[in-house]
Amino acid sequence: MHEWQAAHLFVGVRNVNEDFFTSDITTLFINSSCGIFPTIAASYPIANYPFSGLTVYFDVSRGGWTFRNSLYNGTGYNGWKRRDNPFLVRPAKDGVFNISQLEYAHSGAHYFAGVAVHSRQYTVGTDGEMPSADAAAHKTTCAWWAYAEQPVWSAADHCVTCMAQYSENTCHQSACYRYAEVGCAYCDSLNQCGLSAQCARFRQGTEHSVELTYRRQLNRHIALQPSFQYINNTEGNFTALCARLYYSF
């Protein structure tokens, strides 16, 4: 790793969660805490947590603009065997995966757009099973996305922020080829609460979900965040109640 005043270069084992997609509002919601659009995460066997891979990553910033780019081995790994470890570089078998993202931040607003390109096409069946790298077509496909996060009201330490994001995959036979989300969050020095709605088009059918979450800072070190989710898809209607406990020091 090497850092300049306005740039950063990294070569080594990494995963896409570390650099792309996330923002202050998206990380509040548990449903999208992975940060990665399903048009990418569900459609390619990439270095997405818990998988990693060898990466050449760099970013360059100027003013409120930031450009990021990562070049990965086309498949992520999490084993420690000869043929299953994150240090493998096999473009002939696994393909090549590249992500580029352009960001702009100003006065609390945050916008970004990007594209992910894979040298393989992973066409899944209606059962959702992804083919192996050997069975994937040697055809380049990509997914693109856009995200906007805009404060709409603020007073002292109180703030209301709205967000919207959209993504598509160029291959409609991929596991997920369309995704959209809208949401709103209120924040102050001790509280954060948010409401968001998501829609994802999978090969198995369309899934809709809604999340209501609330985070309370109990003291300087501990915060608690319960979350309620309602999910509707071809399998039926579901609800989920979960919670995060934060401890910072």
135-155 residue pLDDT tens: 678 789 999 999 999 999 998
Domain ranges of the chain: 2-247
Integer angstrom CA distances of residue 66 from 4, 59, 116, 140, 144: 14, 7, 17, 26, 17
Cα-based distances in Å from 145 to 25, 133, 138, 170:
17, 24, 23, 11
- pTM value surpassing 0.85: yes
Phi, psi angles (nearest 5°) of residue 115: -145, 140
Rounded average pLDDT over 165-178: 92
Task: Give the domain 2-247 fold.
Answer: Porin (2.40.160)
The pair phi, psi for residue 105, each rounded to 5°, is: -130, 135
pLDDT of residue 133: 64
List the alpha helices (DSSP H) in the chain: 38-41, 91-94
Tokens linked to 41: 């995460």
If one compares 69 and 20, the residue with the highest pLDDT of the two is 69
For residue 3, the number of C-alpha atoms closer than 13 Å in the C-beta half-sphere is: 1
The yes-or-no verdict on residue 14 having pLDDT over 80 is yes
Residues in the chain: 249
pLDDT digits (tens, 9 = 90+) for 61-118: 999 999 999 999 999 999 999 889 999 999 998 999 999 999 999 988 999 999 999 9
Confidence of residue 134 (pLDDT cuts 50, 70, 90): low
**20 band by pLDDT with thresholds 50, 70 and 90:** confident
Q: Which two tokens stand for residue 170?
A: 């160029």
Both tokens of 85, joined, read 């470890």
How is residue 197 written in tokens? 């709605």
Closest CA to 192 of 18, 30, 36: 30
